[in-house]
Structure 1
Amino acid sequence: MGKLLAILAVLCLSQAIVAERIVNCYWGTWANYRSGNGKFDASNIDAGLCTHLSYSFFGINDSGEIVSLDTWLDYDLGFISKAVGLKSQNSGLKVLAVVGGWNEGSTKYSSMAGDWYKRQNFINSALNLLRNNGFDGLDLDWEYPNQRGGNWDDRANFVTLLRELKEAFAPYGYELGIAVGAGEGIASASYEIANIAQHVNFINVMTYDFAMASDGKTGFNSPQWAVEDSINFWMSQGAPANKLVLGVGMYGRTFQLSDASQNWPGASCRGGGNAGSYTGESGYLGYNEICLNNWETVFDYGNAAPYAFSGDQWVSFDNVLSVQYKMDFAISKGLAGAMIWSLETDDYRGQCGESYPLLKTINRKLRW
């Protein structure tokens, strides 16, 4: 009987390990340059809140080789080694190098993916980057194949690139993830979904930015219905639930109202809202900026998301309640977990109460 109980205990433990959900924490390292309470570095990271830490961003050159976008920060200030060093706080933490991002564009990645020699340069430089710095894998954030200067062949070439990366990584046990556009329009234009899913460990679905000031009207950054539609589309096209990671924005999209008295969703706007004191970007506020504002806040249950306004300023964002709705959905669909964009815009200092309120909400739902 004792041996049987021991076997059952091992089996239960194995299932628990397999079933652990991903909480992938993107880190925009440039937040080091922010002022005051917006400044963020490795000392501000609670490594126990993440299963993966995605160090963002690296780029590529015209030959397809991965390059640092800020060598002073990455190497002289030692940010890479500090990121990898966080594994001393959490022995299970995986630290990933993220290549790409919106500012990198698509043209160089299209050229690289379509050229065998450039692909080999990319893969070999990826191996060197991971080996030389102690990373546990790569997250490829090409925004987006077949768009922004790409071409139709990108869709097939992306599959080839991922297959070759997977083969090259296998002997070392490196993980391979990708970040992808969420909605059906972007996803169907950019990806052979069933094919790319075969070659990656997980797929970070960027289920946010569904409304922006360029639309000419206010809207929700990440309404529940759009999140659910996106995940359901990915699954319908052959992406397995256990590889899909649901994206949660730790920020809001802001709008300047055309008429301050018309402050509801869908109201006309004349552009992005005022820049925040930390993030300094029109049309965008971190949650750590939003929670400090004493604006009138409304939770729209039809979209399972809050918005807030003051004068002609309007913002849509996620809060603890809307994140709970998202995590309940992720659990109901059997998803691999959640990812956040990004650590440095949650209320990591706890200026409005608990530190990391949104990230801790995710953990309470998925891991604790």
Structure 2
Amino acid sequence: MGTFKCFVGALIFTCLVTICSTSIENGGGNIVCYYHNTSYFPPSEVPYRLCTHVIYAFGSISNDTIVPEKPGDLAIYDVLVGFKKWNPKLKVLLSLQHGFPSVVTDTDTMKRFATNAIGFLRHYHFDGVDFDWEFPKLSQKSKFMQFIQIFRDMSSRDAKLRSADLLLISMALGNNKYQASTLYDYTILNKNIDFATIMAYDFHMYIPNVDNITGYNSALVAPKGESPYYSTSGLVKVYLALGLAPEKTLVGIPTYGRSYTLANAKQHGLHAPAVAKGDPGPVRRLRGVYTYTDSCAALKLGAVSVWDSTSGVPYLYKGKTWVSYANEKSVAEKVRWAVSKGLGGVGVWATHLDDLTGECPGPKLPLINAIHSAMKSTSNHEL
């Protein structure tokens, strides 16, 4: 899911034939949280009571099956799946990002992969799989849609044979109008997937000679002078107009920011000239990226925060550093917007980019807590 990620859904009802549904299909109340293992965020800290779904990023595709991406992944699987003992409604999925071209080829290969992958997911007690192919070529679209149909059909047969719940299928969808209008068949997606997270972030980041003025990573509403599609509300409306079912649509919310180096410290507003990615943040030391921990640390060190009431997001600046980031207010506004539009919920990229250190005021993981509180106060679904 790009550089970062997180998601939503639960509450199973029983059905007499093939496919059993989850609350994600009935809309609202879902918080899907992506998690990527890092040295500073152990899996034991994943907020399994704040999220309806946890998606582990990533597994790998190799030899027509799923394999762990790195040593130690099996132990992480055990921790995440083990949370279901304490939160029986929780669903845990495994995300796949790389390797799709090796299996999205002919029908036999796709069926072989589906059989092997379903066996892998069942063996490690996952509740489903997240397809995060970034991105198929236009020439691969029809095969990819066929792949999703085959995977759903074979997972349905598997569930029948096992008398088990159907494995969930989720997707991550691109962050621009071109990808939305060319890469997916929404009739097929609506019929075969359980939910899809629209990656409504990375609208702007410093790219030399391409995107070299300051811009919002994930505005709710596009600022004046920009295309409406460079915003959460504008992009989601594109997907809905193209036919993606609202109840299966999740609004992607980032917990990280994008940083810039200003050309002139005195020009520090939106659309100010920039000359490079921002210097490494004060805590995580990532160039061009601020985790929420970095943003809070920067504010403690004297950075100035500005709230844009039109776009529903803040930015901060200090010296020649400028950062478009998320805070509790901005993520809560996105949750309320998603609920007001009757969408399936929100997907968060990512748990490990929220603050676990206490650098930010309030509880641990303040952004995910704010998302949960906003969803609980506005949704009719029990969390």
Give the TM-score, by structure 2 length.
Answer: 0.82
- Quote the Cα distance in structure 2 between the aligned partners of 1:353 and 1:291: 8
- Where does structure 1 lack aligned partners over 5 or more consecutive residues? 1-13, 33-38, 147-151
**Within 5 Å, which residues of 2 pair with 1:1-368?**
21-29=29-37, 31-32=38-39, 39-61=40-62, 63-70=63-70, 72-75=71-74, 78-100=75-97, 104=98, 108-146=99-137, 152-170=138-156, 171=159, 172=164, 173-214=166-207, 215-225=211-221, 226-276=231-281, 278-294=283-299, 295-354=303-362, 355-368=364-377
Coordinate RMSD, CA, aligned:
2.0
How far does residue 18 in structure 1 lie from its aligned partner after superposition? 5.1
Alignment deviations for residues 225-252 of structure 1 (CA, whole Å, 9 cap, x no partner)? 2111111111111111100011100000
- Quote the Cα distance in structure 1 between the aligned partners of 2:143 and 2:285: 37
Segment drifting more, 249-258 vs 286-295: 286-295
Contact kept, 8 Å, 1:247 with 1:338, in 2: the verdict is: yes
Alignment deviations for residues 157-199 of structure 1 (CA, whole Å, 9 cap, x no partner)? 1211111111122224111100111321222232223332221
Contact kept, 8 Å, 2:258 with 2:325, in 1: the verdict is: yes
Segment drifting more, 116-125 vs 48-57: 116-125
Segment drifting more, 117-126 vs 152-161: 117-126
Q: SS in structure 2 opposite 1:154?
A: helix
Q: SS in structure 2 opposite 1:282?
A: coil
CA separation of 1:275 and 1:159: change in aligned 2, threshold 3 A = same
- Quote the Cα distance in structure 2 between the aligned partners of 1:145 and 1:289: 33
Q: SS in structure 2 opposite 1:275?
A: coil
Q: SS in structure 2 opposite 1:49?
A: coil
How far does residue 19 in structure 1 lie from its aligned partner after superposition? 5.4
Name the structure where helix makes up a greater proportion of residues. Answer: 1
Q: SS in structure 2 opposite 1:197?
A: helix
Contact kept, 8 Å, 1:158 with 1:196, in 2: the verdict is: no
How far does residue 111 in structure 1 lie from its aligned partner after superposition? 4.3
Q: SS in structure 2 opposite 1:224?
A: coil
Contact kept, 8 Å, 1:205 with 1:245, in 2: the verdict is: yes
Amino acid at match of 2:344: A
How far does residue 116 in structure 1 lie from its aligned partner after superposition? 2.2
CA separation of 1:298 and 1:358: change in aligned 2, threshold 3 A = same
CA separation of 1:191 and 1:279: change in aligned 2, threshold 3 A = farther
CA separation of 1:220 and 1:205: change in aligned 2, threshold 3 A = same
- Quote the Cα distance in structure 2 between the aligned partners of 1:130 and 1:209: 30
Alignment deviations for residues 187-217 of structure 1 (CA, whole Å, 9 cap, x no partner)? 2232223332221000111110000011111
Q: How many residues align?
A: 333
Segment drifting more, 166-175 vs 302-311: 166-175
How far does residue 141 in structure 1 lie from its aligned partner after superposition? 0.3
How far does residue 271 in structure 1 lie from its aligned partner after superposition? 1.5
How far does residue 261 in structure 1 lie from its aligned partner after superposition? 1.4
CA separation of 1:270 and 1:55: change in aligned 2, threshold 3 A = same
Alignment deviations for residues 123-173 of structure 1 (CA, whole Å, 9 cap, x no partner)? 123212211111000011000111xxxxx2321112111111111222241
Contact kept, 8 Å, 1:20 with 1:367, in 2: the verdict is: no
Contact kept, 8 Å, 2:26 with 2:247, in 1: the verdict is: no
CA separation of 1:178 and 1:218: change in aligned 2, threshold 3 A = same
- Quote the Cα distance in structure 2 between the aligned partners of 1:73 and 1:15: 32
Say which structure, 1 or 2, has more relative contact order (CA 8 Å, 6+ apart). 2
- Quote the Cα distance in structure 2 between the aligned partners of 1:165 and 1:66: 13
Alignment deviations for residues 294-346 of structure 1 (CA, whole Å, 9 cap, x no partner)? 21010011211100011111100111111122112101110101111111111
Contact kept, 8 Å, 1:65 with 1:118, in 2: the verdict is: no
Give the TM-score, by structure 1 length.
Answer: 0.86
- Quote the Cα distance in structure 1 between the aligned partners of 2:184 and 2:351: 27
Q: SS in structure 2 opposite 1:261?
A: coil
Amino acid at match of 1:176: I
Segment drifting more, 155-164 vs 188-197: 188-197
Q: SS in structure 2 opposite 1:252?
A: strand
Sequence identity percentage: 28
CA separation of 1:337 and 1:20: change in aligned 2, threshold 3 A = closer
Q: SS in structure 2 opposite 1:217?
A: coil
- Quote the Cα distance in structure 1 between the aligned partners of 2:178 and 2:264: 31
